[in-house]
Structure 1
Amino acid sequence: MVAFEGVTKHFGGANGQTAFTALAGIDYSVPKGAISGIIGRSGAGKSTLIRLVNGLELPSTGKVLVDGVDVGVLDEAGLRGLRREVGMIFQHFNLLSSRTVHDNIALPLEIAGLDRQAIDRRVKPLMELVGLSDKSGRYPAELSGGQKQRVGIARALATEPKLLLSDEATSALDPETTQSILELLKTINRDLDLTVLLITHEMEVVKTIASHVAVIDRGLIVESGRTFDVFTAPKHETTRVLLSATVGAKLPEWIRSDLKPVPASGDRALVRLVFFGDTAFQPLTARLVAEIGTDLNILAGAIDEIAGEPFGSLVVSYPADPATLERANRFYQETGLATEVLGYGA
């Protein structure tokens, strides 16, 4: 649905100013019909990237293609047509305070020139879809944050777009409201066959609803793929840091700070065991105890779901003597259990 081809974006640089590079060469594709997330630290380039999709910004070099259309070559009329096919929801809702719920949703349709009856036929089902049928005559000041965001979502859907952009749409909401908005986005994606591209710094959001994810750092996509694959086996250091507080079992700092890369005499190995796919429901921990002996401690554990797939992890420790390590490694190879050696300690 969206393809970034060698996209760069520079700001400034005129009148002797030093140019700021927001995007340093982006190559990335958003699958049609999927919910895709772009995650990264503040200032990494997320917002600039998403604003290129509907022409709010234009690339300095490269192409941004939306369903095959090159956004950078469109004139004003072409951009207006594009924006009817690309809805957008915002962190702070961006509703007009002087308009009711109904009229905020109707605004894009009024701009498009539809008559009142056609507008009503479009707006009423949207209010029902987002659960606001009883709030038609209310004003934004009378709504909660979650209700305001539902108005924003309905407004974004008014022109029947094929792509929905979400710019930190849940960052201003409490956890319970965030969950309800994410469930609504999943329903919209499924029932309307709508591609969703969201940017966020909240890993929990991507973990909950996105089937695909890209990690952006300093204007570059440093890692991308299926959300489950990226979250369970991150390859780039930026990804590992972003996910460290979100995914899997976590060790207390006082344990992690004492770990060494090489064992000394009498040390124990600390190993993260990762359960997913074929290993998710097998009693492998009990079998590991039978293989290496009962001197095995469980230090931390977590059971989770990532993009709808089960995922679990345990951090265990056992003696780091050569014989025990050899038996454990042989067991991992035979069972296909994914592991990560965290270090060694007393």
Structure 2
Amino acid sequence: MVVFEGVTKHFPARDRDAGAFAALDGIDFAVARGSITGIIGRSGAGKSTLIRLVNGLERASAGKVSVDGVDVGALDEAGLRSLRRSVGMIFQHFNLLSSRTAFDNVALPLEIAGVDRQEVRKRVEPLLDLVGLSDKRDRYPAELSGGQKQRVGIARALATEPKLLLSDEATSALDPETTQSILELLRQINAELGLTVLLITHEMEVVKAITSNVAVIDRGLIVEHGRTFDVFTRPQHETTRALLSASLGAKLPEWIRSDLKALPLPGDRVLVRLIFFGETAFQPLTARLVTELGAEVNILAGAIDEIAGEPFGSLVVSYPADPDTLERARHFYQETGLATEVLGYGA
């Protein structure tokens, strides 16, 4: 649905002598049709710039952005207006007009497009029903909660029957319960309407809950991308690992983490994260590890999670770091296919 080919975006530097600032620097990435794809990254990584290129709010300095086969950069103003009817967008702060009711906010893009009032009613009423706001059609934004305002924003984004929905930090201003309800609504829209959803967020819980695919952007580059489950369970880039460190898997207390060493001393124990997914998710491998290594195995932390609808679990265990025990453990992991990560060594 969306293809980025060698996309670069420069902005003028504040200091005239510093030259142009590269917000994006050679992006190659594709968004699968019908998917919910997330773009994650730190503040200033280029997420917002990337999504604004899709509907022509920004123009690429070099490279090509295509939406459903159409080269966005080659469009004139009339072509951009046509494109934007097929690309809906929802925003962090809702961007509703305070002087218009929920019904009239949803109707606005249709009115701008010149749709007659009878057709507007035929389109808007089902959308308000879809987002669960039929009873709020005549309420003004000041009378709505944050979640209800965002639902109006989603209905408005769907009014022109788009093929693609862009979400720019759409849940960042919402509480966790409301966020969950909005994510469920986006998942429903994706399933029922076959709508492709491209969202940018810094909230890892949002990515885990709703996306099928994810890309990690850092300093204007896509440093990692793939199935959400694969990226979250086997992150390859240090930026990805840093972003996920606070939101995934078993957490160790600070007093343990602060004493970890990179290399063992005589008598030390090794701390290992055991990662359970796929075939290993439902096997009693922890009990087998204890049997294999003996009673010296301690369980320090554990967590069970779900990523993109797939089960994921982790345990942090420790056992003696002597050569014999380490070799038996290595053989056990190799035999069972259990994924592991050595966290360090401690007394």
TM-score by length of 2: 0.98
Distance in structure 1 (CA, Å) of the matches to 2:322 and 2:238: 30
The aligned counterpart of 1:264 is: 265
The aligned counterpart of 1:119 is: 120
Distance in structure 1 (CA, Å) of the matches to 2:4 and 2:214: 15
The aligned counterpart of 1:20 is: 21
1:17 to partner: Cα distance = 6.0
Q: Report the 3-state secondary structure (helix = DSSP H, G, I; strand = E; otherwise coil) of the residue aligned with 1:280.
A: helix
The aligned counterpart of 1:91 is: 92
Distance in structure 2 (CA, Å) of the matches to 1:342 and 1:242: 17
Distance in structure 2 (CA, Å) of the matches to 1:47 and 1:196: 15
In the TM superposition, 1:1-346 aligns within 5 A as: 1-12=1-12, 18-346=19-347
Distance in structure 2 (CA, Å) of the matches to 1:16 and 1:288: 61
Q: Which runs of 5 or more structure 2 residues have no equivalent in the other structure?
A: none
Q: Which amino acid aligns with 1:76?
A: E
Q: Which amino acid aligns with 1:257?
A: S
Per-residue CA deviation, residues 139-162 of structure 1 (Å, 9 max, x unaligned), is 000000000000000000000000
Distance in structure 1 (CA, Å) of the matches to 2:288 and 2:243: 33
Distance in structure 2 (CA, Å) of the matches to 1:3 and 1:111: 28
Aligned-residue RMSD, C-alpha? 1.0
Q: Which amino acid aligns with 1:134?
A: D
The percentage of counterpart residues that share the same residue type is: 81
Q: Which amino acid aligns with 1:5?
A: E
Distance in structure 2 (CA, Å) of the matches to 1:254 and 1:47: 38
Distance in structure 1 (CA, Å) of the matches to 2:264 and 2:220: 39
Q: Which runs of 5 or more structure 1 residues have no equivalent in the other structure?
A: none
Distance in structure 2 (CA, Å) of the matches to 1:35 and 1:5: 20
Distance in structure 2 (CA, Å) of the matches to 1:250 and 1:27: 34
Distance in structure 1 (CA, Å) of the matches to 2:238 and 2:292: 33
Per-residue CA deviation, residues 156-192 of structure 1 (Å, 9 max, x unaligned), is 0000000000000000000000000000000000000
Q: Which amino acid aligns with 2:149?
A: K
Q: Which moved more, 1:258-267 or 1:234-243?
A: 258-267
1:106 to partner: Cα distance = 0.3
Q: Which amino acid aligns with 1:270?
A: L
Distance in structure 2 (CA, Å) of the matches to 1:19 and 1:257: 42
Structure 1 stretches of at least 4 aligned residues deviating more than 3 Å after TM superposition: 13-17
Distance in structure 2 (CA, Å) of the matches to 1:290 and 1:320: 17
Distance in structure 2 (CA, Å) of the matches to 1:85 and 1:153: 14
Distance in structure 2 (CA, Å) of the matches to 1:79 and 1:92: 24
1:18 to partner: Cα distance = 2.4
Distance in structure 2 (CA, Å) of the matches to 1:199 and 1:301: 29
1:115 to partner: Cα distance = 0.6
1:13 to partner: Cα distance = 5.7
Q: Report the 3-state secondary structure (helix = DSSP H, G, I; strand = E; otherwise coil) of the residue aligned with 1:259.
A: coil
1:343 to partner: Cα distance = 0.9
Q: Which amino acid aligns with 1:12?
A: P
Q: Report the 3-state secondary structure (helix = DSSP H, G, I; strand = E; otherwise coil) of the residue aligned with 2:282.
A: coil
Distance in structure 2 (CA, Å) of the matches to 1:45 and 1:80: 24
Aligned residues: 346
Distance in structure 1 (CA, Å) of the matches to 2:110 and 2:302: 51
Q: Which moved more, 1:316-325 or 1:11-20?
A: 11-20
Per-residue CA deviation, residues 273-314 of structure 1 (Å, 9 max, x unaligned), is 000000001000000000010111100100000000000000
Q: Which amino acid aligns with 1:9?
A: K
Distance in structure 2 (CA, Å) of the matches to 1:102 and 1:145: 16
Q: Which amino acid aligns with 1:235?
A: Q
Q: Report the 3-state secondary structure (helix = DSSP H, G, I; strand = E; otherwise coil) of the residue aligned with 1:258.
A: coil
Per-residue CA deviation, residues 170-215 of structure 1 (Å, 9 max, x unaligned), is 0000000000000000000000000000000101100100000000
Q: Which amino acid aligns with 2:345?
A: Y
